[in-house]
Amino acid sequence: MAESVVSFVLGKLGDAFVKEVLHLHGVSNQVEKVSRELIRIQAFLKDADTKHIVNERQKQWVKEVRDLAYWIEDVIDTFLLMVPETKPGKREAIKRLFVKTKKLPAVHKLGDEINQIMTRIQEINESRVTYGITNIGEGIEGEIRQPIQLLVPSDVDEAGIIGFDDDREKIISLLLDEKTTRRSVISIVGVGGLGKTTLARKVYNSEAVKGQFEIRIWVTISQTFELIDILQKIAEQLQIEPPKDLSEHQLNKLYQSLTNKKYLVLLDDIWTTNLWPLIEAIFPDANNGSRIIITTRFLNVAEVADPISVPYKLQFLTEKPSLELFLKKALPNRNANEECPTDLYEISKDFAKKCGGLPLALVVLGGLLSRIPASYVAWDKRRNTMNWANDGERCLAIINTSYEDLPFALKSCFMYFAAYPEDYKIDVGPLLRMWIAEGFVPQEENKTLEDTAHNFLEDLAQRSMIQVTDRDFDGSIARCRIHDVLRDLAIQKAKENDFLRTSSKIDDIHNCSQTRRLVINYGRDIIMEERELLGQSIASATPNLRSLFCSADVPKFSELKYLKVLNSFGFGNRHKPEKFGELSQLRYVKVGLEVRSEVDVDNFQTFIGGMRFLQTLDLRRSRIDCDLPDCVWHVKTLRHVFLPDWGRRPSSGPPSSADLINLQTLQGVSSRESWEVEGIPKLPNVKNLIIRGVFQWNTIATLLGTLKHLNSLHIEGDDAPLTIIDMRSFPFYHGLQTLLLEYERPYHNHKEISLDVGMFPINLTRLSFGNTRLREDPMPVLEKLENLRYLALSAAIFQQMSCHNRGFSRLETLILLQLRKLEEWKIEKGAMPTLNKLHIIGCPLLRVPEELQHLTVLQELLWTFPSYDDKINEAFENEVRNICKHVPYIDFCD
């Protein structure tokens, strides 16, 4: 951890602008000495990390180095805050700047601060020998970092259910037992890391269970739960208004929503006996076979929930499945049927035995071994250097070893997971963008920072330090989660390193004065007085804060001058821009703003215009009735811009003078009228583009003609889709994977579109036509797109549709929306062989195709009723269910 901080500070000291300014102040020689000493210290840190130090005195030395690096960062940032913005390399401008700032008292102190730092470095160097940190480069032989291998999509869920097949079937039989009609509670009990949640998820998602319950609800319970939060999660899944308080009236709404329904509720990870008596009253018992599953580490929790039912005690894995699970993770790239090499088999049995049958320990240890050469010498050396603990501490010892084995940058990335709630599905995009803003991700040759960040995440997944929950069609991780035991480790390490702290009480903030990152978890109902007090506490207790995650609208942001990451993830709250002020150091901004009055606009432009190092600007939850200031579009570091989906109108795009060489994402802008006269902006590396309000296609076509790396394009307008549909002339033709075209006026008198398969890129995986008014069946053309995985059609006016044998060979999701004239759909046997999700919404004339029975892998079918007549709808539902008996999940809506 300390090494990554040192690396970050060295990068800052090497910045051209910083070096120029420091030179003019006559302290460049001292700073160069500081840099040289930091490089030497960095080498010793690598040596200490390679040897997996456990000595407390050595740990103290590492802490001193980390504090030193933080001190240097604070000194440099304090100085830079006083320097007005100017362009690097402009020596005359910097000289004028020097004249303006050299008389400031804080500037005079800079040299003194650096001298004090040098004195501290000498003390740390002298103490290094005392602490026993010497002999650079004598790490463990053979531990060469393996190249990152992508996990296959079948590994998307948790570590696997190896050895739990019998457990799954037994619990399913308890759920479906017709003799037990009362509302019973089935408790899965076992220690952390034993696989309770994995097993519960497999049961919850099994085909046998899905079709037996009208309602299924999953809620994860945290150690420090709030009852109102749990009830709101239940209401959200019931699709009813969430309770505002714990009054009897509010609880009765939940009760009535479940009355006379056969339901399955899964309460995951209950820690205390206090919860069940509080929540039991909302679950009616209609003697219809409703069930509740709870997972818990504590037997008394299970006994309180249902004294009659016998808790299901999950057992440790036996020798054979333990070895199978370990080898699956340790040798991920070998064929499943291939035997383990003889020289590794016996040592593998020893590794598996040491895990004591605990699945989490097995997958984490297997992930650790997967990163070193698969040779007896390397594995034996790892076995002999591991600090094996006894029984209950075994898992913690193994995962701690896996943490210590992480490269420096990955340790920071792993600790970042401490910011997320238990069992939270994490969207990968924002996570990786924050890693980049924090400086964790190095620039590698011929790779973008985002590419390297994705590789970091894949590395953590292969080590089983995180769990992949969803992948995109291109195979990259889309969402992930972290096991609660590993999350506890992340929280522990983050606290030890002053890396990140979480606060849910105002008083806790005063214990976070040394932390660089703070997570504030407050509910939506926090009152204004508490917000003011919270803001004052943050500003006074953590003045050197670099990153802030907050779930509430909190003032006083403007006093956090060093802030680099601001992630306001509250629900439905929007801030007024004056609460922020000018935060020039921000790299990542995700916040909801309310900008509607003239005062708001002025404050917004001041706030947004002062960010000279901005990388990510995410305003999707905002309501903004003005354009971005042009100065934002001239920030060279800008990488991702997400603008609001609503407001007076889409914000105008960059001016023609913009040269955004690093910009990769541009979402929610409209074209500028000035582009037609002055030319288009330079956006050479944009990969993801959403343009709204398109009325002049020629200008947009000119812009698209300059984009070579585009892989996702979404255009909304009246004119664009008619021409853009033939994409062969664009330089990104072969690389485009996602294409969404939507008319803004669906009933506008559009001319007919004639489709040709050559119009579409061969690598297209996701295609959506919105309000295109297609008059001819597009399927004979679209079914030839061999890589297409997702297709959505809406507001077309053709009457018949046909899908032919071998057509749509890789299609997984099909959405048919508002095809109000569609009457007949012919599906030949062999068409859409991989389709697993089908939604048919607003197609009232469509007759139910009998050929749906040929879609043998279909897992989910959602269909709107064709009428308001209950008898017609009942007959329709029966017909669909009769034809689609093989589909596990079928649902209907009005």
Q: Give residue-wise pLDDT tens across range 56-90.
A: 777 788 888 888 888 888 887 777 776 555 554 45
Which of 281, 313, 345 terminates a domain? The answer is 313
Write down the pLDDT at residue 143.
40
Final residue of a domain: which of 111, 130, 149? Answer: 130
For residues 745-781, b (16+ Cβ closer than 10 Å) or e, as one string? eeeeebeebebeeeebbebbbbbbbbbbbbbebbbeb
Looking at the structure of the chain, the number of domains it has is: 2
Model confidence pLDDT, tens digit, residues 390-426: 544 667 777 887 888 888 789 899 999 999 988 889 9
* Mean of pLDDT values over 633-638: 91
Residue 154 has pLDDT above 60, yes or no: no
Q: pLDDT tens, 700-754?
A: 888 999 999 999 999 887 654 555 667 888 999 999 999 998 876 654 555 566 7
Q: CB neighbours (10 Å) of residue 681?
A: 21
Encode pLDDT of 81-104 as tens digits.
765 555 544 555 545 555 555 545
pLDDT of residue 719: 56
Do 10 and 95 reside in the same domain of the chain?
A: yes
- More confidently predicted of 385 and 285: 285
Same domain, 103 and 177: no
Contact 301, 271 (CB under 8 A): yes
Do the domain assignments include residue 864?
A: no
**What mean pLDDT is reported for the chain?**
82
- How far is it, in rounded angstroms, from Cα 287 to Cα 63? 61
> What's the pLDDT score for residue 161?
58
- CA-CA-CA-CA torsion sign (129, 135, 137, 142): negative
| pLDDT score, position 10 | 77
Give the model's pLDDT for residue 153.
39
Question: Which of 677, 627, 641, 683 has its CA nearest to residue 659?
Answer: 683
829-876 pLDDT tens trace: 999 999 999 999 999 999 999 999 999 999 999 999 998 888 999 999
pLDDT at 26: 64
Query: What range defines the domain where residue 47 resides?
Result: 2-130
Among 155-164, 239-248, 450-459, 617-626, the range with the most confident prediction by mean pLDDT is 450-459
Is it the case that residue 598 has pLDDT exceeding 50? Answer: yes
> Which of 486-490, 760-764, 769-773 has the weakest average pLDDT?
769-773
pLDDT recorded at residue 394 = 64
Tell me the pLDDT band of 268, cut-offs 50, 70 and 90: very high
**Residue 157 CA: distances (Å) to CA of 336, 425, 863:** 18, 12, 27
pLDDT single digits (tens) 120-133: 888 888 887 777 76
In a domain, 7, yes or no: yes
Q: Is residue 503 part of a domain?
A: no
| Arithmetic mean of pLDDT, 672-678 | 83
Sign of CA dihedral 217, 222, 225, 226: negative
d(C-alpha 194, C-alpha 315), whole Å: 8
Task: Give residue 723's pLDDT.
Answer: 54
CATH number, domain at 214?
Answer: 3.40.50.300
If asked whether residues 123 and 247 sit together in one domain, one would say no
Share of the chain above pLDDT 70, in %: 81
More confident residue, 808 or 300: 808
Query: Between 111 and 779, where is the model more confident?
Result: 779
Q: How confident is the model at residue 293 (pLDDT cuts 50, 70, 90)?
A: very high
313, 344, 371 - which closes a domain? 313
C-beta of residue 796 within 8 angstroms of C-beta of residue 820? no
Which pair of tokens denotes residue 701? 């076509």
Structural domain includes residue 365: no
Does a structural domain hold residue 537? Answer: no
Which tops the pLDDT comparison, 774 or 487?
487
Give me the pLDDT at residue 328, please. 87
- Tell whether 125 and 69 lie within a shared domain: yes
* Degrees, nearest 5: CA angle 113-118-120: 95
Q: Which of 400-409, 489-498, 501-510 has the highest mean pLDDT?
A: 489-498
121 and 183 in one domain?
no
Dihedral sign computed on CA atoms, order 410, 411, 412, 413: positive
CA-wise closest residue to 372 among 381, 363, 384: 381
pLDDT of residue 778: 92
- Confirm whether 176 is domain-assigned: yes
pLDDT in tens, 783-808: 999 999 999 999 888 999 999 999 99
77: left (phi over 0), alpha (psi -120 to 50) or beta: alpha
114 confidence band (pLDDT: 50, 70, 90):
confident
- Is the pLDDT at 19 greater than 50? The verdict is yes
Instruction: Tell whether 175 and 284 lie within a shared domain.
Output: yes
The answer to the question of residue 83 being in a domain is: yes
For residue range 164-184, list pLDDT tens digits in order: 888 999 999 999 999 999 999
- Asked if 192 and 255 sit in the same domain, the reply is yes
Categorize the per-residue pLDDT at 522 as very low, low, confident or very high, splitting at 50, 70 and 90.
Answer: low
Token pair 């999950």 is at which residue?
314
Average pLDDT over residues 334-340: 62
pLDDT given at position 104: 53
Q: What is the pLDDT of residue 155?
A: 46
pLDDT in tens, 543-558: 788 898 886 666 566 6
H or E element that contains 115: helix 105-130
Q: Percentage of residues in the chain with pLDDT exceeding 90?
A: 33
| pTM to 2 decimal places | 0.81
For range 475-486, the mean pLDDT: 90
Question: Higher pLDDT residue, 674 or 224?
Answer: 674
**Co-location of 295 and 186 in the same domain:** yes
195, 308: one domain: yes
State how far Cα 277 lies from the chain centre. 35
| Same-domain pairing of 100 and 172 | no
Distance CA 850, CA 884 (A): 9
Q: Which residue has the higher pLDDT, 115 or 132?
A: 115
The whole-angstrom distance between residue 785's C-alpha and the CA centroid of its chain comes to 30
Phi-psi label, residue 151: left if phi above 0, alpha if psi -120 to 50, beta otherwise: beta
175 and 306 belong to one structural domain:
yes
Q: How far is the CA of 202 from the CAs of 294, 386, 408, 525, 843, in angstroms?
A: 14, 33, 35, 36, 34
Confidence of residue 51 (pLDDT cuts 50, 70, 90): low
Torsion of the alpha carbons at 405, 406, 408 and 413, rounded to the nearest 10: -150
* Confidence bin at 39 (pLDDT 50/70/90): confident
Flag whether 581 is in a domain.
no
Q: How far apart are CA 366 and CA 331, in angstroms?
A: 8
Q: Are residues 82 and 15 in the same domain?
A: yes
The stretch 443-466 carries a mean pLDDT of 90
C-alpha to C-alpha distance for 499 and 1, rounded to whole angstroms: 9
List, for residues 348-379, the tens digit of each pLDDT value. Answer: 988 888 888 888 889 888 888 888 888 899 99
Segment 135-141 mean pLDDT: 41
Range 863-873 burial, b when 16+ CB lie within 10 A, else e: bbbbeeeeeeb
